[in-house]
Amino acid sequence: MKTRLLILIAGIILFLGKTNTCKADSFPVFDHIVIVMLENHSYSQIIGGTSNSFINFLADSGALFTKFYSETHPSQPNYLILYSGSNQGVTDDMMPKHIPFMSQNLGASLISAKPKRTFSGFAESLPHIGYPGNDSLTSYARRHCPWVNWQATGMGLGPNQIDSTNSHPFTDFPTNFKKLPTLCFVIPNTTNDMHDGPGATTITKCDNWIKNNLGNYINWTKANKSLLIITFDEDNDKSKNHIPTIFYGAQVVKGKYNDSLNHFNILATFLKMYNIKPFGDSAKAVNEAIVNCWDTGQKIIDTTIIKDTTTGIYLEGGKSEITIYPNPVNQKIFIQGLDLNAGEALIRIYDMTGKLLNSYKNVSSIDVSSYPAGSYLIEVEQKGRITRKKMSVER
Protein backbone atom coordinates (compact mmCIF):
# COMPACT_ATOMS: atom_id res chain seq x y z
CA MET A 1 0.00 0.00 0.00
CA LYS A 2 2.85 2.38 0.77
CA THR A 3 4.30 2.01 -2.73
CA ARG A 4 0.91 2.39 -4.38
CA LEU A 5 0.34 5.56 -2.37
CA LEU A 6 3.76 6.94 -3.37
CA ILE A 7 3.06 6.23 -7.04
CA LEU A 8 -0.36 7.84 -6.76
CA ILE A 9 1.13 10.96 -5.13
CA ALA A 10 3.84 11.14 -7.80
CA GLY A 11 1.18 10.90 -10.51
CA ILE A 12 -0.88 13.70 -8.96
CA ILE A 13 2.19 15.94 -8.66
CA LEU A 14 3.15 15.30 -12.27
CA PHE A 15 -0.42 16.02 -13.38
CA LEU A 16 -0.29 19.37 -11.64
CA GLY A 17 3.06 20.14 -13.23
CA LYS A 18 4.90 20.41 -9.90
CA THR A 19 8.11 18.82 -8.68
CA ASN A 20 8.70 16.61 -5.68
CA THR A 21 11.35 17.56 -3.20
CA CYS A 22 13.37 15.24 -1.03
CA LYS A 23 16.09 15.58 1.56
CA ALA A 24 19.65 14.95 0.44
CA ASP A 25 20.02 12.07 2.89
CA SER A 26 16.93 10.34 1.48
CA PHE A 27 18.57 9.72 -1.91
CA PRO A 28 18.82 6.04 -2.82
CA VAL A 29 22.37 4.74 -2.73
CA PHE A 30 22.64 2.10 -5.41
CA ASP A 31 24.98 -0.86 -5.24
CA HIS A 32 25.33 -0.72 -9.02
CA ILE A 33 24.57 1.85 -11.72
CA VAL A 34 24.99 1.15 -15.44
CA ILE A 35 24.96 4.19 -17.76
CA VAL A 36 24.38 3.58 -21.47
CA MET A 37 25.03 6.59 -23.70
CA LEU A 38 23.67 6.43 -27.25
CA GLU A 39 24.14 8.60 -30.29
CA ASN A 40 22.65 11.37 -32.37
CA HIS A 41 18.88 10.92 -32.02
CA SER A 42 16.22 13.28 -30.75
CA TYR A 43 13.48 12.60 -28.24
CA SER A 44 10.80 12.46 -30.93
CA GLN A 45 12.79 9.96 -33.00
CA ILE A 46 12.89 7.46 -30.14
CA ILE A 47 9.98 7.95 -27.75
CA GLY A 48 6.72 6.80 -29.28
CA GLY A 49 8.28 6.59 -32.72
CA THR A 50 8.58 2.82 -32.52
CA SER A 51 6.15 2.10 -29.71
CA ASN A 52 6.89 -1.63 -29.62
CA SER A 53 10.63 -1.08 -29.10
CA PHE A 54 12.47 -2.26 -26.03
CA ILE A 55 13.60 1.29 -25.22
CA ASN A 56 9.97 2.40 -25.25
CA PHE A 57 9.08 -0.47 -22.90
CA LEU A 58 11.73 0.83 -20.52
CA ALA A 59 10.42 4.39 -20.91
CA ASP A 60 6.90 3.22 -20.08
CA SER A 61 8.09 1.11 -17.14
CA GLY A 62 10.61 3.51 -15.63
CA ALA A 63 11.17 7.24 -15.25
CA LEU A 64 11.08 9.09 -18.57
CA PHE A 65 12.43 12.65 -18.53
CA THR A 66 10.47 14.53 -21.17
CA LYS A 67 12.47 17.79 -21.13
CA PHE A 68 16.05 16.58 -21.13
CA TYR A 69 18.50 18.54 -23.29
CA SER A 70 22.09 17.97 -24.30
CA GLU A 71 24.59 20.80 -24.04
CA THR A 72 26.34 21.14 -27.38
CA HIS A 73 27.53 19.56 -30.63
CA PRO A 74 29.44 17.43 -31.57
CA SER A 75 29.57 14.26 -29.46
CA GLN A 76 32.74 14.33 -27.39
CA PRO A 77 32.13 17.44 -25.23
CA ASN A 78 28.81 15.98 -24.02
CA TYR A 79 30.46 12.76 -22.85
CA LEU A 80 33.11 14.79 -21.03
CA ILE A 81 30.45 16.94 -19.36
CA LEU A 82 28.56 13.94 -18.00
CA TYR A 83 31.80 12.38 -16.73
CA SER A 84 33.61 15.43 -15.38
CA GLY A 85 31.22 18.39 -15.24
CA SER A 86 33.25 20.18 -17.92
CA ASN A 87 34.11 19.82 -21.59
CA GLN A 88 37.78 20.18 -20.51
CA GLY A 89 38.26 22.75 -23.27
CA VAL A 90 37.38 20.17 -25.93
CA THR A 91 34.99 21.37 -28.63
CA ASP A 92 35.47 18.71 -31.32
CA ASP A 93 35.71 14.93 -31.74
CA MET A 94 39.50 14.78 -32.09
CA MET A 95 41.69 13.08 -29.48
CA PRO A 96 42.29 15.77 -26.83
CA LYS A 97 45.74 17.22 -26.41
CA HIS A 98 47.66 17.20 -23.13
CA ILE A 99 46.21 13.94 -21.86
CA PRO A 100 45.88 12.27 -19.46
CA PHE A 101 43.87 15.00 -17.78
CA MET A 102 44.34 15.63 -14.05
CA SER A 103 41.06 17.41 -13.34
CA GLN A 104 38.41 15.94 -11.07
CA ASN A 105 36.11 13.38 -12.60
CA LEU A 106 33.48 10.83 -11.69
CA GLY A 107 35.60 7.67 -11.86
CA ALA A 108 38.47 8.93 -9.70
CA SER A 109 36.05 10.54 -7.25
CA LEU A 110 34.18 7.27 -6.72
CA ILE A 111 37.41 5.34 -6.21
CA SER A 112 38.65 7.85 -3.60
CA ALA A 113 35.24 8.30 -1.91
CA LYS A 114 34.59 7.32 1.72
CA PRO A 115 33.37 4.67 1.85
CA LYS A 116 35.33 3.65 -1.24
CA ARG A 117 33.34 2.95 -4.39
CA THR A 118 34.38 1.39 -7.69
CA PHE A 119 34.25 2.45 -11.33
CA SER A 120 34.80 0.92 -14.77
CA GLY A 121 34.15 1.74 -18.38
CA PHE A 122 33.04 -1.00 -20.78
CA ALA A 123 33.39 -0.15 -24.47
CA GLU A 124 32.32 -2.49 -27.24
CA SER A 125 35.18 -3.27 -29.69
CA LEU A 126 37.84 -1.71 -27.43
CA PRO A 127 40.95 -3.59 -28.65
CA HIS A 128 42.12 -4.58 -25.16
CA ILE A 129 42.06 -3.55 -21.50
CA GLY A 130 43.50 -0.08 -21.05
CA TYR A 131 43.86 0.64 -24.79
CA PRO A 132 44.71 4.37 -24.92
CA GLY A 133 44.74 4.93 -28.67
CA ASN A 134 42.36 6.64 -31.03
CA ASP A 135 39.57 5.02 -32.98
CA SER A 136 40.93 1.78 -34.39
CA LEU A 137 40.04 -0.15 -37.53
CA THR A 138 37.07 -1.51 -35.58
CA SER A 139 33.94 0.50 -34.77
CA TYR A 140 35.26 1.43 -31.32
CA ALA A 141 34.95 5.19 -30.78
CA ARG A 142 37.42 6.69 -28.31
CA ARG A 143 35.54 10.00 -28.37
CA HIS A 144 32.56 8.21 -26.77
CA CYS A 145 34.63 6.89 -23.83
CA PRO A 146 35.42 9.89 -21.60
CA TRP A 147 37.21 7.99 -18.83
CA VAL A 148 40.04 7.06 -21.22
CA ASN A 149 41.23 10.67 -21.09
CA TRP A 150 42.11 10.27 -17.39
CA GLN A 151 43.68 6.83 -17.49
CA ALA A 152 47.31 6.10 -16.68
CA THR A 153 49.20 3.02 -15.58
CA GLY A 154 50.17 1.85 -12.11
CA MET A 155 52.86 4.00 -10.49
CA GLY A 156 52.44 6.65 -13.18
CA LEU A 157 49.06 7.77 -11.86
CA GLY A 158 48.74 11.50 -11.32
CA PRO A 159 46.08 13.46 -9.39
CA ASN A 160 42.51 12.45 -10.24
CA GLN A 161 43.63 9.82 -12.73
CA ILE A 162 42.38 6.25 -12.91
CA ASP A 163 44.35 3.11 -13.60
CA SER A 164 44.09 1.85 -17.17
CA THR A 165 42.82 -1.48 -15.85
CA ASN A 166 39.47 0.26 -15.22
CA SER A 167 38.92 0.46 -19.00
CA HIS A 168 37.49 -2.77 -20.42
CA PRO A 169 36.17 -4.20 -23.66
CA PHE A 170 32.46 -4.92 -23.33
CA THR A 171 33.27 -8.65 -23.50
CA ASP A 172 34.46 -8.23 -19.87
CA PHE A 173 31.02 -7.11 -18.67
CA PRO A 174 30.28 -9.64 -15.91
CA THR A 175 27.44 -12.13 -16.12
CA ASN A 176 27.43 -12.23 -12.31
CA PHE A 177 26.10 -8.73 -11.82
CA LYS A 178 27.17 -8.60 -8.19
CA LYS A 179 30.71 -8.25 -9.58
CA LEU A 180 29.81 -5.01 -11.35
CA PRO A 181 31.48 -1.84 -10.05
CA THR A 182 29.46 0.73 -8.16
CA LEU A 183 29.08 2.72 -11.37
CA CYS A 184 30.05 1.95 -14.92
CA PHE A 185 29.62 3.29 -18.42
CA VAL A 186 28.55 0.91 -21.18
CA ILE A 187 29.33 2.25 -24.64
CA PRO A 188 28.18 0.23 -27.68
CA ASN A 189 30.31 0.59 -30.79
CA THR A 190 29.23 2.89 -33.62
CA THR A 191 27.41 0.05 -35.36
CA ASN A 192 25.17 -0.51 -32.35
CA ASP A 193 24.78 2.90 -30.67
CA MET A 194 22.58 4.50 -33.41
CA HIS A 195 25.57 6.37 -34.86
CA ASP A 196 25.94 4.42 -38.11
CA GLY A 197 23.31 3.27 -40.53
CA PRO A 198 20.07 4.51 -42.07
CA GLY A 199 17.05 5.79 -40.16
CA ALA A 200 14.85 3.21 -38.46
CA THR A 201 17.34 0.41 -39.14
CA THR A 202 19.99 1.83 -36.83
CA ILE A 203 17.39 2.45 -34.09
CA THR A 204 16.16 -1.14 -34.29
CA LYS A 205 19.69 -2.50 -34.28
CA CYS A 206 20.58 -0.56 -31.13
CA ASP A 207 17.28 -1.51 -29.51
CA ASN A 208 18.03 -5.20 -30.05
CA TRP A 209 21.59 -4.74 -28.79
CA ILE A 210 20.38 -3.33 -25.49
CA LYS A 211 17.77 -6.05 -25.09
CA ASN A 212 20.17 -8.88 -25.94
CA ASN A 213 23.22 -7.60 -24.05
CA LEU A 214 21.71 -5.85 -21.03
CA GLY A 215 18.30 -7.48 -20.71
CA ASN A 216 19.39 -9.84 -17.96
CA TYR A 217 20.91 -6.99 -15.98
CA ILE A 218 17.72 -4.95 -16.46
CA ASN A 219 15.66 -7.85 -15.17
CA TRP A 220 17.98 -8.08 -12.14
CA THR A 221 17.99 -4.41 -11.12
CA LYS A 222 14.78 -4.15 -9.13
CA ALA A 223 15.61 -6.77 -6.53
CA ASN A 224 19.26 -5.78 -6.23
CA LYS A 225 19.46 -2.04 -5.47
CA SER A 226 20.63 -1.35 -8.99
CA LEU A 227 19.85 1.21 -11.70
CA LEU A 228 20.02 1.49 -15.48
CA ILE A 229 20.33 4.90 -17.15
CA ILE A 230 19.88 5.36 -20.88
CA THR A 231 20.71 8.77 -22.29
CA PHE A 232 22.05 10.26 -25.54
CA ASP A 233 25.00 12.47 -26.37
CA GLU A 234 23.09 14.84 -28.67
CA ASP A 235 20.12 14.98 -31.01
CA ASN A 236 20.07 14.80 -34.81
CA ASP A 237 20.83 18.55 -34.96
CA LYS A 238 17.19 19.28 -35.68
CA SER A 239 15.42 19.37 -32.30
CA LYS A 240 17.30 21.93 -30.17
CA ASN A 241 19.23 19.04 -28.58
CA HIS A 242 16.09 17.53 -27.04
CA ILE A 243 17.09 13.94 -26.22
CA PRO A 244 15.55 10.92 -24.43
CA THR A 245 16.74 9.97 -20.94
CA ILE A 246 15.34 7.01 -18.98
CA PHE A 247 15.97 5.66 -15.48
CA TYR A 248 14.93 2.07 -14.76
CA GLY A 249 15.54 -0.08 -11.69
CA ALA A 250 15.14 -0.34 -7.94
CA GLN A 251 13.43 2.59 -6.20
CA VAL A 252 12.45 4.24 -9.48
CA VAL A 253 8.82 5.41 -9.51
CA LYS A 254 7.65 5.03 -13.07
CA GLY A 255 6.15 8.06 -14.77
CA LYS A 256 6.87 11.01 -17.03
CA TYR A 257 8.84 13.84 -15.42
CA ASN A 258 8.79 17.28 -17.01
CA ASP A 259 11.61 19.09 -15.19
CA SER A 260 14.10 20.78 -17.53
CA LEU A 261 17.30 18.72 -17.14
CA ASN A 262 20.67 18.04 -18.72
CA HIS A 263 23.80 15.92 -18.19
CA PHE A 264 24.98 18.20 -15.38
CA ASN A 265 21.89 17.15 -13.40
CA ILE A 266 22.73 13.46 -13.77
CA LEU A 267 26.27 14.08 -12.56
CA ALA A 268 24.99 16.19 -9.65
CA THR A 269 22.67 13.32 -8.71
CA PHE A 270 25.57 10.85 -8.58
CA LEU A 271 27.58 13.24 -6.41
CA LYS A 272 24.76 13.58 -3.90
CA MET A 273 24.10 9.84 -3.87
CA TYR A 274 27.70 9.01 -3.03
CA ASN A 275 28.46 12.09 -0.89
CA ILE A 276 31.08 13.50 -3.27
CA LYS A 277 31.89 17.22 -3.29
CA PRO A 278 30.89 18.98 -6.53
CA PHE A 279 33.52 19.55 -9.19
CA GLY A 280 33.65 21.22 -12.57
CA ASP A 281 30.46 22.99 -13.53
CA SER A 282 28.45 20.31 -11.72
CA ALA A 283 28.47 22.76 -8.81
CA LYS A 284 25.96 24.81 -10.79
CA ALA A 285 23.57 21.87 -10.74
CA VAL A 286 24.26 20.55 -7.24
CA ASN A 287 20.97 21.94 -5.93
CA GLU A 288 19.19 20.55 -8.96
CA ALA A 289 19.98 16.88 -8.52
CA ILE A 290 17.19 14.68 -9.79
CA VAL A 291 14.98 14.08 -6.76
CA ASN A 292 11.44 13.43 -7.90
CA CYS A 293 11.54 9.90 -9.30
CA TRP A 294 12.74 7.94 -6.26
CA ASP A 295 10.82 5.75 -3.85
CA THR A 296 13.08 6.04 -0.82
CA GLY A 297 10.63 4.32 1.49
CA GLN A 298 11.59 0.73 0.64
CA LYS A 299 14.22 -1.20 -1.26
CA ILE A 300 11.87 -3.29 -3.38
CA ILE A 301 8.89 -1.90 -5.27
CA ASP A 302 6.04 -4.37 -5.70
CA THR A 303 5.65 -5.02 -9.42
CA THR A 304 3.77 -7.18 -11.84
CA ILE A 305 5.71 -7.86 -15.02
CA ILE A 306 5.09 -9.68 -18.27
CA LYS A 307 7.58 -12.08 -19.80
CA ASP A 308 8.78 -11.42 -23.35
CA THR A 309 8.57 -14.97 -24.69
CA THR A 310 11.15 -14.25 -27.40
CA THR A 311 13.93 -12.98 -25.13
CA GLY A 312 12.94 -14.19 -21.68
CA ILE A 313 13.17 -10.62 -20.39
CA TYR A 314 10.53 -9.40 -17.97
CA LEU A 315 8.83 -6.04 -18.49
CA GLU A 316 6.39 -4.25 -16.23
CA GLY A 317 2.80 -4.15 -17.34
CA GLY A 318 -0.70 -5.08 -16.32
CA LYS A 319 -2.53 -5.26 -13.03
CA SER A 320 -1.53 -7.88 -10.50
CA GLU A 321 -4.01 -10.65 -9.79
CA ILE A 322 -1.76 -12.01 -7.04
CA THR A 323 -1.98 -11.03 -3.39
CA ILE A 324 -0.18 -12.44 -0.36
CA TYR A 325 -1.50 -12.48 3.19
CA PRO A 326 -1.01 -12.03 6.05
CA ASN A 327 1.82 -9.56 5.59
CA PRO A 328 3.64 -9.21 7.98
CA VAL A 329 3.56 -12.97 8.52
CA ASN A 330 4.58 -15.20 11.43
CA GLN A 331 3.81 -18.79 10.45
CA LYS A 332 2.25 -19.29 7.02
CA ILE A 333 1.90 -17.03 3.98
CA PHE A 334 -1.05 -17.56 1.60
CA ILE A 335 -0.95 -16.73 -2.10
CA GLN A 336 -4.26 -15.64 -3.54
CA GLY A 337 -4.97 -15.36 -7.26
CA LEU A 338 -3.16 -18.47 -8.53
CA ASP A 339 -4.95 -20.75 -11.00
CA LEU A 340 -3.42 -24.15 -10.28
CA ASN A 341 -5.31 -25.62 -13.25
CA ALA A 342 -3.76 -23.18 -15.72
CA GLY A 343 -0.24 -24.54 -15.86
CA GLU A 344 2.77 -24.62 -13.57
CA ALA A 345 2.99 -21.95 -10.89
CA LEU A 346 6.49 -21.19 -9.60
CA ILE A 347 7.08 -19.39 -6.30
CA ARG A 348 10.54 -18.19 -5.28
CA ILE A 349 11.68 -16.50 -2.07
CA TYR A 350 14.77 -14.27 -2.06
CA ASP A 351 16.54 -12.36 0.67
CA MET A 352 17.03 -8.62 0.18
CA THR A 353 20.45 -9.12 -1.44
CA GLY A 354 18.80 -11.10 -4.25
CA LYS A 355 19.94 -14.53 -3.01
CA LEU A 356 17.44 -17.30 -3.82
CA LEU A 357 16.45 -19.02 -0.57
CA ASN A 358 13.72 -21.45 -1.66
CA SER A 359 11.53 -22.32 -4.62
CA TYR A 360 8.17 -24.08 -4.76
CA LYS A 361 5.80 -25.40 -7.42
CA ASN A 362 2.01 -25.39 -7.50
CA VAL A 363 1.39 -24.39 -3.91
CA SER A 364 -0.94 -21.71 -2.58
CA SER A 365 0.61 -21.46 0.89
CA ILE A 366 4.13 -21.61 2.32
CA ASP A 367 5.27 -22.28 5.86
CA VAL A 368 7.76 -19.50 6.74
CA SER A 369 8.06 -20.33 10.44
CA SER A 370 11.74 -21.23 9.97
CA TYR A 371 12.62 -17.87 8.37
CA PRO A 372 14.35 -15.31 10.61
CA ALA A 373 12.56 -12.03 11.18
CA GLY A 374 13.18 -9.57 8.39
CA SER A 375 12.24 -8.56 4.86
CA TYR A 376 12.11 -10.88 1.86
CA LEU A 377 11.08 -10.81 -1.78
CA ILE A 378 8.45 -13.33 -2.84
CA GLU A 379 8.17 -13.90 -6.60
CA VAL A 380 5.22 -15.67 -8.23
CA GLU A 381 5.42 -16.78 -11.87
CA GLN A 382 2.50 -18.17 -13.87
CA LYS A 383 1.12 -17.78 -17.39
CA GLY A 384 3.96 -15.57 -18.57
CA ARG A 385 3.62 -13.13 -15.67
CA ILE A 386 5.78 -12.56 -12.64
CA THR A 387 4.53 -10.75 -9.57
CA ARG A 388 7.06 -9.57 -7.01
CA LYS A 389 6.02 -8.61 -3.49
CA LYS A 390 7.89 -7.55 -0.42
CA MET A 391 7.19 -9.94 2.46
CA SER A 392 7.90 -9.13 6.10
CA VAL A 393 8.43 -11.94 8.63
CA GLU A 394 7.87 -11.06 12.28
CA ARG A 395 8.77 -13.05 15.36
- Nearest CA to 279 among 103, 99, 35, 90? 103
Per-domain residue ranges of the chain = 2-288, 320-393
Q: What angle do CA 381, 353, 372 make, to 5 degrees?
A: 85
Of 270, 272, 262, the C-alpha closest to 242 is: 262
At residue 305, the pLDDT reads 63
Distance, in Å, from the CA atom of 175 to the CA atom of 190, rounded to the nearest integer, reads: 23
Q: What is the pLDDT of residue 297?
A: 57
Rounded to the nearest angstrom, the gap between the alpha carbon of residue 314 and the centroid of all alpha carbons in its chain is 15
Q: Say what the pLDDT of residue 189 is.
A: 96
Domain over 320-393 is classified CATH 2.60.40.1270: yes
Tell which residue, 264, 272, 259, 319, has the closest CA to residue 72. Answer: 264
DSSP state of 29: -
Q: Assess contact for 184 and 128: CB atoms under 8 A.
A: no
Are 267 and 106 in contact by the 8 Å Cβ rule? The answer is: yes
Sheet holding 323-325, edge to edge: 323-325, 332-336, 365-367
CATH class of 2-288: alpha beta
Helix, strand, or coil (residue 60): helix
β-partners of residue 392 are 375
**pLDDT of 229:** 98
Distance CA 117, CA 82 (A): 18
pTM listed for this prediction? 0.75
Print pLDDT tens along the chain (395 aa).
344 333 323 332 333 333 333 333 467 899 999 999 999 999 999 998 665 789 999 998 899 999 999 999 999 999 999 999 999 999 999 999 999 999 999 999 999 999 999 999 999 999 999 999 987 667 999 999 999 999 998 778 999 999 999 999 999 999 999 999 999 999 999 999 999 877 789 999 999 999 999 999 998 998 889 999 999 999 999 999 999 999 999 888 888 999 899 999 999 999 999 999 989 876 565 457 898 898 865 444 456 666 666 556 666 655 567 888 888 888 899 888 887 776 788 999 988 767 789 999 999 899 999 999 888 888 888 877 788 888 888 88
Query: Looking at residue 180, what is its pLDDT?
Result: 98
